[in-house]
Amino acid sequence: MPRSSRTFVIDGANAVYAVFGPWPETLEEQNRCASDFISSLDERLRLAPEFSIEVVFDGFHRAVPSVNRERLRIIFSDEETADSVILERVRSLVYFKEKVTVVTRDRDLANEARRENAKTLDPQKFWGMF
């Protein structure tokens, strides 16, 4: 994935909840919400060529909309938690001198990300950037 000047690593379900309301209980509804969120991100990303985005969802791979994979990467945590995958991505990106911002309302995750030299941002503030 070619790097832009800043990478946002998004806590998927947490961000969907913050922007669109409660995360649905059924897998079908979760998939619909995730797809809508990803499609919206893809459209918004066209307005911000200096950004790249990685969205991390808990669980196993599910169908997602077709997006610009060079700047929008969708990751499923499989058997790990989304938080642990997010922190792994932060460590990797910081190691390679990327500017990283974790988008989440999860205080524990935000604190851990800051300890790894990432910035943090509330999902609604992130959504308002575009």
How much is the pLDDT for 126? 94
1 within a domain of the structure (yes/no): no
The C-alpha atoms of residue 39 and residue 65 are separated, in whole angstroms, by 7
Q: Which helix (H) or strand (E) holds 109?
A: helix 107-115
Domains: count for the chain: 1
pLDDT tens, residue by residue, 75-114: 999 999 999 999 999 999 999 988 999 999 999 999 999 9
How much is the pLDDT for 110? 98
118 within a domain of the structure (yes/no): yes
Q: At what angle do helices 12-20 and 27-45 cross, to 10 degrees?
A: 80
pLDDT tens, residue by residue, 31-76: 888 888 899 998 888 888 888 999 999 988 877 777 767 889 999 9
**Considering just the CA atoms, what is the radius of gyration of the chain in Å?**
13
73 within a domain of the structure (yes/no): yes
CATH of the domain at 31: 3.40.50.1010
49 within a domain of the structure (yes/no): yes
41 within a domain of the structure (yes/no): yes
Q: Which domain holds residue 71?
A: 6-127
User: Closest by alpha carbon to 123, among 4, 9, 25?
Assistant: 9
